[in-house]
Structure 1
Amino acid sequence: MLIIKKLKAKAKKLMLDLVVLHLAYQNSKTPWTAKAIIVITLGYVLSPIDLIPDFIPILGLLDDLILLPLGIYLAIKLIPKEVLETSRILAKTYEWERKKSVMAVLIIALIWIGIACTTINLILYNKY
């Protein structure tokens, strides 16, 4: 039971960190490098496709356990302290807007569809 409690606490902290990144992205004082890493990290979280599919034993979950915390860590290191503190305070009471979340997922899905269509087109019509 102790392990489950620890996992729930870590998951809750992870969700809070994602909200902090979302809020920091909206702040004009956040540098563009941090914003780029935030977009990549949040895009990875919302993406319906993983780099390594989860059904592959061990490796499937390993990419989530490494890439997501790494993206959060890098973004937090690049965000100015005052922006980070403000975002952490706001994140505790922040409510996600459902419309924005659905739009973000749709945009990411369209990007993946575009990549798939381009790849198929290159394979079928461009002989190397």
Structure 2
Amino acid sequence: MGMLDKLGAWARRVKRDGLTLWFAGRHPRTPWHAKALGLFVVAYALSPIDLIPDFIPVLGYVDDVLLLPGLIWLAIRLLPADVLAECRVQADDWMMTKGAKPRSRVGAFLVVCVWLALTAGAWFWVRARL
């Protein structure tokens, strides 16, 4: 198995686990802390807008390559084993039948709110310095 095959398999697992978190967020036996983190991660992952835009050299891909997989890994670790197994089956079924990931308008809204808050904070900070 070559390096590209390993990277492709890793990317498919990350995609499947992101979708697994989407199903786990709706599962009644998911603990509240795992549900909160999982829903945040899913909203961000499914958002069409990135926190760090991809057109920014190098930094634009940090969230796609490091931040998002790290948060998915953490949220998956918080799920009970039986819930994780059940939600992974649902995610695999979704990927086989639908193929495309769902979109999240809530995630896009949250990312826009973060950008607005950062912009407002920077504006107030600069204004206080003048």
RMSD of the TM alignment (CA)? 3.1
Residue equivalent to 1:4: 4
Cα contact 2:76–2:84 (8 A) shared by 1 = yes
1:22 matched residue in structure 2:
22
Q: Which residue of 2 aligns with 1:62?
A: 62
Deviations 1:100-127 (A, max 9, x none): 935x2x333344556667788896xxx8
- TM-score scaled by length of structure 2: 0.72
C-alpha deviation, 1:78, in angstroms:
1.0
Residue 71 (1) aligns with residue 38 (2): no
Listed as ranges, the gaps of 5+ residues in structure 2 are: none
- Hey, which bits of structure 1, 4+ residues long, moved more than 4 A? 111-123
Q: Measured at CA, do residues 53 and 85 of structure 1 come closer, stay the same or move farther in structure 2, by a change above 3 Å?
A: same
Partner of 2:85: 85
Question: Could you state the TM-score of these two structures normalised by the residue count of structure 1?
Answer: 0.73
CA distance in 2, matches of 1:88, 1:120: 38
Aligned to 2:102: 101
Which residues of structure 1 form unaligned runs of 5+?
none
Q: Equivalents in 2 of 1:33, 1:112: separation in Å?
A: 21
- Cα distance, 1:89 vs. partner? 2.5
Aligned residue pairs total 123
Deviations 1:15-67 (A, max 9, x none): 11112111211111101100111111111112233222212222211222121
Structure 1 window deviating more from structure 2 (3-12 vs 29-38): it is 3-12
Does residue 33 in structure 1 map to residue 39 in structure 2?
A: no
What is the match of residue 52 of structure 1? 52
Q: Which amino acid aligns with 1:70?
A: G
Q: Distance in 2 between the 1:116 and 1:88 partners?
A: 32
Q: Deviation string for 1:66-122 (max 9, x for gaps)?
A: 2111111111111111111222223221245x8x935x2x33334455666778889
